[in-house]
Structure 1
């Protein structure tokens, strides 16, 4: 099968690799009817996975938290990811691994234990959560006052999931007001996260990022490591909106693009409405880190 038909991406599903637009799951799968899914996204950069083992660690922990058994071990999932990206021919890719609850083996059952869990994966050309030219100029964020992040007590945010009702509502507001993306609070005056990213605030030589109501992302972890390497003290704790708005600089982190300096939050401007110098240096350091051999898993094309 020619790589040309995989130009838009590929999927591994039911043991086969197919073009992304041919990948399907059943309409009665609880992944569809209940958003009963956990997943993770790992970047491929210059022909290699970045921090694949860290992403697989979190994916396996998420499956355990959701009481899912897809009938594949780590070696088998790793092989599926490598084979899929290799077949696609993509050297820069956004790669998702997914565990779905599946369809009940007992027709009409409402018992999640009756579902046949399954694994699938897909890859597409590399996705930037924020366009590079926007990141270089500084991102604009909108924080709505009437949409808040689903609390940890209702949904464990450390398990990556498809529950985006709050994010989608916030994104509509952000776009309607002319902002690039949205950031949510926890409903009690503290920052949470945005659709696909964590948030950080720089105060002098200190960097603070929220600890609760957020996914502890692998790029978040990478950013914390980079901050320490660059002489910053790091704190993972509650970050109030009031404190956030007096930060020297603000940045976002995502597997879809790394580190993004923020120029504006609602009507408040940082760094004179441009990307801050410290966040910009961290962004550059992230792309340098993508090339570190010890963090890369080369793909055989």
Structure 2
């Protein structure tokens, strides 16, 4: 692995196709299809309390995404795991947002102008932790709307493969801003809940925690929610959620790597409960972070070991 010497790693570290550099110096070619065509898949794993959360599961999901897009970079899963750990160790960050991308390059001259002839390569970085919503927003509950913009159909872009096709999600975020809200939930063409910009969605209906079966990423934090429900004896289910059910839900919350479990206190003009997180959402959020601190699904970073 090539390394930029005498570098400042305080703001983050990056790896691109075999070379490590400060994140501010990381660049990809403007002609690569990862940029020109959004021909890329990615995953994000969090570091908190000095430990990765569900690191191997994130890498396994990333590998499945690459395989679905017919990308085979040179790095093995074990090598990628070490790269991510080394990036965090190099920065010294105890709380870090760690991304791994696989981008397709551009076919060289002399071969067909087809993705099969373009080299895929890994780009990764570790930067200080990112909250999707501030701690204050989470404490009082996030304000959301149901977007008019429908989610891209899974038959066109598979949402279980993390991707950069954010046109619908970005449009929904502007809808939310114009409505004085902070985020948006997207429905499919049939009017059922899918996901939001960067997170899975949950509704608490008659005491049961429910999440959609299709149209959304199979989130690692989503899996953690159902593990917690099982542990705490909270009924849970995966089934379609109509717009009417979402609007009438007892509680609503979201889950993502960049924030964990995040309650919602307003949906459009409706104020849920007492304009604060509901009891099930609050319990799940509190338990999630308590277990994280205790080492749940943790891969500790040995900061004393010199990076490779």
TM-score (norm: length of structure 2): 0.93
SS across alignment from 2:136: helix
CA contact (8 A) 2:111 2:117 kept: no
> Over aligned residue pairs, what C-alpha RMSD do you find?
1.4
Shift, 1:260, TM fit:
0.6
Query: Is 2:184 the counterpart of 1:176?
Result: no
Residue by residue, what CA displacement relative to the aligned partner does 1:103-139 show, whole Å, maximum 9, x if unpaired? 2134684311010010110111111111111001001
CA contact (8 A) 1:205 1:231 kept: no
The equivalent residue for 2:218 is: 216
What runs of 5+ residues in structure 1 fail to find an aligned partner? none
- Map 1:134-173 onto structure 2 (within 5 A): 134-145=137-148, 147-173=149-175
Question: CA separation in 2, counterparts of 1:2 and 1:291?
Answer: 34
Equivalent in 136, 143, 151 of residue 133 of structure 1: 136
Question: CA separation in 2, counterparts of 1:123 and 1:249?
Answer: 34
Question: CA separation in 2, counterparts of 1:184 and 1:269?
Answer: 19
- Map 1:40-51 onto structure 2 (within 5 A): 40-51=43-54
TM-score (norm: length of structure 1): 0.96
The equivalent residue for 2:306 is: none
Residue by residue, what CA displacement relative to the aligned partner does 1:218-245 show, whole Å, maximum 9, x if unpaired? 0011011111211122111111010112
The equivalent residue for 1:274 is: 276
SS across alignment from 1:273: coil
Question: CA separation in 1, counterparts of 2:224 and 2:80?
Answer: 23
CA contact (8 A) 1:68 1:101 kept: yes
The equivalent residue for 1:90 is: 93
The change in CA–CA distance for 1:171 and 1:109 in structure 2 (over 3 A counts) is farther
Shift, 1:272, TM fit:
2.4
SS across alignment from 1:200: strand
**How many residue pairs get matched?**
299
Equivalent in 14, 19, 27 of residue 16 of structure 1: 19
Is 48-57 or 223-232 further displaced after alignment? 223-232
SS across alignment from 1:244: helix
